[in-house]
């Protein structure tokens, strides 16, 4: 394998000659084994966000007079070239790595420097025309670049999850309307309660999903506030005012996010990542609610003879290798497991809030990739529940009617006309003998 030699603070080392990244990325690949996790390049939404920040910085530095136009434009063009390439090959570092995102930032700096260097007639790895730090990273710190990219990535990933949740809500609502004429028995504490309709029940599920989407959207909304310009710990005096004035407008244009604004307190933004962890917390709530939805489907569809048997879920595969005729509720079970993973990812995120010591919370990688994973998991769960379960489920009208006309619903109706005390006295007198109680109701009321 052909190699080239690059140098950094720690010395020199040989890296593959054809790679577009440089020595610091190569060190990160060696230092942080993937250990079953995904690479930075496996998250295109994160790479796009990071490159948008780099594009904005190059534009702001050019317009402020700190970068030659030909170098700035080469860096900007390189952002588009990078996105047209194989991202896992360009961004091979493990998603979780030490240093508060420094490896991810330098990975982007090196890739863009090499692409820009070559476009201006230079040699890959030479950095004589375009340098990763002196040019691509000019007036930036990992500590404002990386969290800004994290915010942008979550905003973009949410744009993909939102319509999926809304579509699942619509599926529940439509199913309720379809089965509106079928009475069903509501249950509290897993005991008989009153009669309702499937429109009532599924309408409640749809309402939860829409509220969950609303709650996530409100939490994500806060991420339009970004710390770009705060550099190391929030001190804006570390960058020239000419750059500081231009970087946010440049980011809005590069990222296509006109609502981006600078965080109100940049020192706060450096020290705390509770805004991102709040997004994780509402994703956790959504996942727990979806677990309830899926568990309810399993319960209502249990049987076929000795369970509730009030609904029938679409049969998508045989349920047993030894019991002929058995069909399991595998889609709700799939959804439940995906949502269990979301709750686990949030548990990790909560640790990141209080472990950010002193002037910088460096655990953004853990939080942002947990959020991105959680959003992907919830999207997969919602799509599958919609397409392969809710849309095709049916209800057993006869069985539901029989259950809805059982004793407790009748007692509750009679209570409205005869009073709680009188009905309760009859129940007390015939406790444990439903047949006798029914006879008494017919004879005495």
Q: What are the CA-CA distances from residue 93 to residues 43, 103, 126 (Å)? A: 11, 8, 21
Q: Which of 184, 209, 212, 215 is nearest to 197 (CA)?
A: 184
Helices 330-354 and 274-300: crossing angle in degrees, nearest 10, is 160
Q: Is the CA virtual torsion 125, 130, 136, 137 positive or negative?
A: positive
Say how far residue 20 (Cα) sits from the centre of its chain: 30
Helix (H) / strand (E) element for 11: namely strand 11-16
Please tell me what DSSP assigns to residue 125: T
Cβ partners under 8 Å of residue 396, min gap 6: 309, 310, 311, 312
**Beta-strand (E) ranges in 339-437?**
394-395
Q: What are the CA-CA distances from residue 199 to residues 151, 173, 192, 381, 405 (Å)? A: 39, 7, 18, 23, 18
- Region of 38 on the Ramachandran plot (φ > 0 left; ψ -120 to 50 alpha; else beta): beta
Give the catalytic positions in this structure.
Answer: 320
């Amino acid at each position: 394998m052909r190699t080239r030699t690059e140098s950094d603070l720690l010395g020199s080392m040989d890296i593959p000659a054809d790679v577009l990244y440089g020595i610091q990325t190569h060190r990160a690949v060696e230092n942080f084994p993937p250990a079953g996790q995904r690479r930075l390049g496996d998250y295109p939404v994160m790479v796009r966000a990071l490159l948008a920040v780099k594009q904005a910085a190059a534009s702001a530095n050019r317009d402020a007079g700190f970068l030659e136009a030909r170098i700035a434009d080469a860096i900007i063009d390189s952002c588009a070239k990078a996105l047209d390439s194989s991202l896992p090959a360009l961004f091979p570092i493990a998603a979780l790595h030490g240093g508060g995102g420094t490896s991810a930032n330098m990975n982007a700096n090196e890739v863009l420097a090499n692409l820009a260097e070559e476009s201006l007639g230079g040699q890959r790895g030479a950095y004589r025309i375009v340098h990763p730090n002196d040019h691509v990273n000019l007036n930036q710190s990992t500590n404002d670049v990386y969290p800004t990219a994290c915010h942008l990535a979550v905003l973009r990933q949410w744009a993909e999850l939102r319509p999926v949740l809304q579509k699942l809500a619509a599926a529940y609502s439509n199913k309720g309307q379809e089965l509106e004429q079928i009475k069903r028995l509501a249950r509290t504490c897993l005991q008989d309660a009153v009669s309702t309709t499937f429109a009532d029940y599924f309408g409640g599920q749809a309402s939860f999903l829409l509220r969950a989407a609303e709650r996530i959207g409100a939490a994500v909304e806060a991420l339009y506030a970004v710390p770009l310009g705060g550099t190391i710990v929030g001190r804006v005096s570390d960058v020239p005012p000419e750059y500081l004035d231009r970087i946010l407008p440049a980011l809005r244009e590069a990222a296509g996010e006109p609502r981006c604004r600078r965080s109100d307190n940049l020192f706060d933004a450096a020290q705390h990542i509770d805004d991102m962890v709040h997004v994780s917390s509402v994703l956790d709530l959504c996942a727990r609610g979806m677990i309830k939805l899926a568990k309810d489907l399993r319960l209502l569809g249990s049987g076929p003879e000795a369970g509730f048997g009030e609904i029938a879920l679409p049969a998508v595969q045989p349920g047993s290798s030894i019991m002929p005729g058995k069909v399991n509720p595998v889609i709700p079970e799939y959804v439940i497991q995906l949502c269990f993973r979301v709750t686990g990812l949030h548990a990790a995120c909560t640790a990141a809030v209080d472990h950010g010591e002193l002037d910088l919370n460096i655990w953004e990688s853990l939080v942002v990739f947990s959020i991105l994973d959680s959003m992907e998991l919830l999207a997969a769960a919602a799509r599958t529940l919609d397409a392969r379960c809710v849309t095709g489920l049916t209800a057993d009208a006869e069985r539901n009617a029989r259950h809805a006309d059982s004793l407790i619903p009748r007692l509750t109706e009679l209570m409205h006309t005869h009073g709680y005390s009188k009905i309760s006295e009859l129940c007390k007198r015939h406790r444990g003998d439903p047949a006798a109680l029914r006879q008494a109701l017919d004879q005495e009321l």
